[in-house]
Amino acid sequence: MEVYCTRPHCPRPQNNFPDLDDIATLRTIQQKYCTTCGMPLILVGRYLPTKVLGRGGFGAAFLARDRYTPGMRHCVVKQFLPAGNLSPTQMQLAQDLFEREAVALEELGNKNEQIPNLYAYFPLPVPSLHPGHEDQFFYLVLEYIDGQNLEEELAQKGKFSEPEVLEVLQEILKILRFVHSKGIIHRDIKPSNIMRRRDGKIFLLDFGAVKQVTNAPIGAATSTGIYSMGFAPPEQMAGGQVFPSTDLYALAVTAVMLLTGEPITELFDVYNNQWKWRMQVSVSPRLAEVLDKMLLSAANQRFQSAQEVLDALDSRNVPIPSTTITPLQPQPQKQQLGSSRQPFSLLEILGGAAFSGFEGGLIAIALLSLLKSPIITLAASALILGILIFAQTRRWIEKWDLVIISAISFAIVLFVPFLHSVTQWTVLPFASGLIAIALTSLFRLIYKLLSLLL
């Protein structure tokens, strides 16, 4: 069995112990030590790290086995590991944040099934590599979520569709609604801190930068300067007060990154201090308006709670009330809610094509029976059909209107004998509808291919 040494900067942290492959030995052995640096490997006699999962500014995470559980349960062991040369004040701050994560997870994890449970928190003093000194390490043991974080998922599959982003938004907003109700602000929401378990369930991870605001006046929580660049709003980057809307800003940045598949540096215009994500992707006006409001520079102009965002995303609700936009966040006019039309879905496009083809066939039958001139019939049919297509693009007729108009016009041609011949009315309208669907699909495919190439 391979056991991973958790001592920082150990030159050869992988240790292989064949005797630990025997379950009986694994459960009873007292301790194992790193063959390179002598670090105790079985943490507090219970947890065996098997590989490193990642390293960050203030910690390293390891996949581990818990030998005190019947199935040798997988868990995550997080070690307090500040990087760089920190001052005593910065070191104390980082340690406080790590301990705060334990407090938050104990309070939150057991009450919300989308936040990992905290299993243990312990300090571990060990002999230093320097004789006569002792090193002190701190560990958290957390529930292991077997899956991929959204940063990994984005790299693997490419940008997310609008329904996929809406799912992420709604799930994380529900978690934030719970977290904020406990007086806690996460302060480090980003794709790598959102995990999708193999069964599809979404979790919010890494509460190492949480800020308690319980028992503090509203707005009295201040930022410590620990955040992820690009995801933090202005008030957090300036080291000022943080709010629930601080998390909503970071969540909106996360959503924009998933939608576009672009790094944050490509989505924010530093020179003009503007988000320019809308030109990168086409989404429904409602989602665009919600994200733009979450991304406003002024904290008091954003949504003030996760529930407000959930309500705004609900398509049954009325349009989002207009919000005064600061000069630093101008909104493109063509995408404003209420000034643009809902984009057509694929079903609507193909349904409209079928309707247009079917009606074109019926119109041709009727006019040819009345006018007896193929040329005049073709011109008149094209004019009427153009009017019908224009009405669809303006949404003057849509959905059930198409079915009703088709049924009425078919009934007229069917029951007025001089408007048809038997062969024409049984074949032409349906053939025209199928041809229209085929041509529409072909042109749409060509358009998609050209869009990708150009």
* Percent over 70 (pLDDT), the chain: 68
Residue 171 pLDDT > 90: yes
For range 258-268, the mean pLDDT: 85
Q: What is the 3-state secondary structure (H, E, C) of the chain?
A: CEEECCCCCCCCCEEECHHHHCHHHHHHCCCCECCCCCCECCECCCEEEEEEEEECCCEEEEEEEECCCCCCCEEEEEEECCCCCCCHHHHHHHHHHHHHHHHHHHHHCCCCCCCCCEEEEEEEEEECCCCCCEEEEEEEEEECCCEEEHHHHHHHHCCCCHHHHHHHHHHHHHHHHHHHHCCEECCCCCHHHEEEECCCCEEECCCCCCEECCCCCCCCCECCCCCCCCCCCHHHHCCCECCHHHHHHHHHHHHHHHHHCCCHHHHEECCCCEECHHHHCCCCHHHHHHHHHHCCCCHHHCCCCHHHHHHHHCCCCCCCCCCCCCCCCCCCHHHCECCECCCCCHHHHHHHHHHHHHHHHHHHHHHHHHHCCHHHHHHHHHHHHHHHHHHHHCCCCCCHHHHHHHHHHHHHHHHCHHHCCHHHHHHHHHHHHHHHHHHHHHHHHHHHHHHHHC
pLDDT at 43: 95
Q: Which of 188, 206, 247, 292 is catalytic?
A: 188
In total, the chain counts a number of residues equal to 454
pLDDT at 433: 66
For range 403-418, the mean pLDDT: 67
The answer to whether the CB of 239 falls within 8 A of the CB of 246 is no
The answer to whether the CB of 76 falls within 8 A of the CB of 105 is no
Cα(72)–Cα(180) distance, integer angstroms = 34
For range 12-28, the mean pLDDT: 92
Q: Between 422 and 429, whose confidence is greater?
A: 429
> 297 falls in which pLDDT band (50, 70, 90)?
confident
pLDDT digits 0-9 by tens, 54-97 = 886 667 899 999 999 998 999 999 988 765 566 778 767 767 77
> 377 falls in which pLDDT band (50, 70, 90)?
low
Cα(224)–Cα(97) distance, integer angstroms = 10
> 31 falls in which pLDDT band (50, 70, 90)?
very high
> Residue 199 catalytic?
no
The pTM score is 0.63
For range 272-283, the mean pLDDT: 82
Residue 333 pLDDT > 50: no
184's CB contacts (< 8 A; 6+ apart) are 104, 107, 108, 207, 210, 211, 212, 213, 214
Least confident range of 14-23, 124-133, 164-173, 409-418: 409-418
Query: Taking Cα atoms as reference points, which of 336, 288, 282 lies closest to residue 312?
Result: 288
Residue 325 pLDDT > 50: no
Residue 134 pLDDT > 50: yes
Residue 345 pLDDT > 80: no
pLDDT at 362: 67
For range 411-423, the mean pLDDT: 58
Q: Between 267 and 447, whose confidence is greater?
A: 267
For range 162-191, the mean pLDDT: 92
Cα(122)–Cα(137) distance, integer angstroms = 9
pLDDT digits 0-9 by tens, 218-251 = 344 444 445 566 788 887 777 778 889 999 999 9
pLDDT at 405: 73
Partners of 61 in beta bridges: 54, 78
Q: Between 216 and 309, whose confidence is greater?
A: 309
For range 180-191, the mean pLDDT: 89
The Cα-based distances of 206 to 37, 78, 228 in angstroms read 29, 10, 12
Q: What is the 3-state secondary structure (H, E, C) of 375-405?
A: HHHHHHHHHHHHHHHHHHHCCCCCCHHHHHH
